[in-house]
Structure 1
Amino acid sequence: MVAQRDPYESPTIRAFAAELEAWRSEAGLSKVEFAETLGYTPQLISQLEAAKNIPSKKFAEDTDTFFKTKGVFVRLWKLVNDTRHLAALPPGFPEFVERETKADAIRVFGLLLVTGLLQTEEYAREILLTVQQPDVVDRFIASRMERQAILARDKPPRLWATFDERALRCMVGGPEIMRGQLEHLLEASKRPNIMIEVVPISAGAYAGLEGDVTLLSFDGRPDIAYTEAAGRGQVVEDPSGVTDFHVRYDLIRGHALPVAESRTLIESIMESL
């Protein structure tokens, strides 16, 4: 795989990296010597030991054979492979999802895409295939559908979902998939705990053009915010920072159509497909 700039946060990838470095050092081999012996590049060894790349099964097998570890590295590789979809998540996102399950209220704004909490499987698949390897997409989708279960549980959180009209007109996967996604939004908006609003393109310049916003509220605990930039997720807990996100979300909603008019707009977009 292509190495990434920052180390993976996945404990399994970090465990593989630590074991690799420990066995190589114990054998008294430099990275260059080890790489030449196994037939790999020194750059790959450095990336793997820094947890910036994901090992292949062949590399794990070759390492087991060389060190005579009786399958230690293949077993670690299997754990890495089984959780590979989690390793591909933006740093910070797993923490956010964990917090999301405990939220009493969720406020989310989507500029260009429908939020994961309200995506259909077909829509989610098309998006994920643009950024993930096909062999991990099914696991991503399963996790996303599992995440959506919070909206149908006993005492579900209140969800305020606001979308820019561009997100609803962006042709993801073709007309049939988009019709299914828009119909899903209309059905979801009938639930008493879900409010869906749309900011029309005619709104012009407004605070939402800066990007997506997510806010989580809890009973008896401070709110938090979540944002993504440059492939990294960040959970914001600083009170002043969270307040800034609340103000921005309120400014966005100020440009949104009322719920009934938003439903009418969604229906008109669906009919035009």
Structure 2
Amino acid sequence: MNRKELNPDSSPQAAYGARLRRLRDRRRWTQDDLGEHMGYSSVHVSAVEVGRKSPTLRFSRSADEVFGLQGTTDSFERAYHEIKHGSLLEGFPEFVGYERHAAEIRLYEVGVIPGLLQTPEYATILADSFVRRGAISPEQAHERVTLVAKRQESLVRTHPPLVVTVLDESCLRRPIGEPAVWDAQLARLVEFAELPNTMLQVAPFSMGARRPFDLPVTILTMPDRGLVSYAESAQQGHLERDNSCVVPLLTAYHQLQAEAPSQADSAAMINQFRKASRDD
């Protein structure tokens, strides 16, 4: 029997289908078996797995009931809403799954504060700006803000990851929201730097060509020491799980850290921006 290879990174719908197949395989069920448990035909199950048919809310809730995922962050219902709203870039939903279990997280961000460090007010204003431009719906904006909060839960889990962050200076030169919102966001960065499992540096414009990245990048070290990277442009995200491709990024990241000012100097720079914004 021919078995179609699935690429979960190609779209949220493909990630949904690949995960459905993976959970089915773990139970050693055929598509007929799963269909019988869910109340669907094997043809319907197959079509969802390979992406020929989009999952429905009813299908997703049935899958959650079969696999015991109701009300969890890994539920198929949650994945269904991500597909329906379509507000997340390709590769990002699966990346979030890796991020949730990572032992080490390394971030480099340009222009905006990364989601793991955003205050709720900052995240809301960013999302609402997309709504005003007509890029996403209010429902999609709510989804984005909710996802930011969910992602931040990984920072306070029982065994939190090491989180290393380098912010391009442009992140600090783009005030978002009213002065009080922006001041609270900058204060959040300083508080983040003081946590026992974090490191924070700012890459100033003066680094020039010594800055190895032009676009945001995230590198995850998993508990088994495997590496995963995620990078995105305005229209596309890319998840990479091949160590031969990720290791050069990790090397460049270490070079970035070596060139950037220390955490103490970076915190002082952030406080200077806070003072300047208050004086304006």
Same fold (TM over 0.5): yes
Within-5 A mapping of 1:178-197: 178-197=182-201
Q: In the alignment, which of 152, 164, 167 is matched to residue 168 of structure 2?
A: 164
The match for 2:100 is 101
Q: Structure 1: which 5+ residue stretches go unaligned?
A: 1-6, 15-49, 53-77
Q: What's the offset of the Cα at 1:117?
A: 0.5
Q: Match for residue 10 of structure 1?
A: 13
Give the Cα–Cα distance (whole angstroms) in 1 for the partners of residues 127 and 272 of structure 2: 27
Residue type of the alignment partner of 2:152: Q
**1:7-62 deviation per Cα after TM superposition (whole angstroms, max 9, x unaligned):** 96337x99xxxxxxxxxxxxxxxxxxxxxxxxxxxxxxxxxxx999xxxxxxxxxx
The 1:83/1:243 distance shift into structure 2, 3 A limit, reads: closer
What amino acid sits opposite 2:136 in the alignment? Q
Alpha carbons of structure 1 residues 151 and 233: separation in structure 2 relative to 1, 3 Å: same
State the shift of 1:205 in Å. 2.4
Q: Is the alpha carbon distance of 1:244 and 1:51 closer, same or farther for their aligned partners in structure 2, counting shifts above 3 Å?
A: farther
- Paired residues in the alignment total 209
Describe how 1:20-39 pairs up with structure 2 within 5 A: none
Change (3 A) 1:8 1:110: closer
Structure 2 CA distance for aligned equivalents of residues 240 and 228 of structure 1? 19
Q: What is the CA-CA distance between 1:80 and the residue it aligns to?
A: 9.8
Deviations 1:42-97 (A, max 9, x none): xxxxxxxx999xxxxxxxxxxxxxxxxxxxxxxxxx99995467621001000000
Q: 1:152 to 1:204 in 2, by over 3 A?
A: same
Determine what percentage of the aligned residue pairs are the same residue. Answer: 29
After superposition, the C-alpha distances for 1:106-146 in whole angstroms (9 at most, x for unaligned) are 00011211111111111112222224222321222112101
Using the TM superposition, give the Cα deviation of residue 214 of structure 1 relative to its aligned residue in structure 2, in angstroms.
0.6
Segments of structure 2 that go 5 or more residues without pairing to the other structure are: 1-9, 18-51, 55-76
1:154 matched to 2:158? The reply is yes
Kindly indicate whether residue 217 of structure 2 is the aligned counterpart of residue 213 of structure 1.
Answer: yes
Q: 1:121 maps to what in 2? A: 120
In 2, the alpha carbon distance for the partners of 1:132 and 1:186 equals: 31
Is 1:110 the counterpart of 2:113? The answer is no
Structure with bigger gyration radius: 1
Aligned to 2:88: 89
**SS at the partner of 1:214?**
strand
Which amino acid counterpart does residue 87 of structure 1 have in structure 2?
A: G
The amino acid across from 1:145 in the alignment is A
Mapped partners of 2:241, 2:140: distance in 1? 31
Q: 1:82 to 1:91 in 2, by over 3 A?
A: closer
SS of aligned partner of 1:107 = strand
Quote the RMSD (CA, aligned, Å).
2.9
Distance 1:114 1:165 in 2: 10
Please name the residue that 2:260 is paired with: 256
TM-score, length basis structure 1: 0.68
Q: Which sits farther off after the overlay, 164-173 or 84-93?
A: 84-93
Runs of 4+ aligned residues of structure 1 deviating over 4 Å after TM superposition are 78-86
1:139 pairs with 2:138: no
Aligned-partner Cα distance in 2 for 1:255–1:221:
25
1: CA distance, partners of 2:214 / 2:249: 11
**Cα distance in structure 2, aligned partners of 1:83 and 1:238:** 26
In structure 2, the residue matched to 1:241 is 245
1:226/1:236 contact within 8 Å kept: yes
Is the partner of 2:189 in helix, strand or coil? helix
Residue of structure 2 equivalent to 1:57: none
- Paired with 1:105 and 1:81, the residues of 2 have a C-alpha distance of 29
Deviations 1:190-214 (A, max 9, x none): 1100111111222222334511111
CA–CA separation in structure 2 for the residues paired with 1:79 and 1:190: 33
2:232 is the alignment partner of 1:228: yes
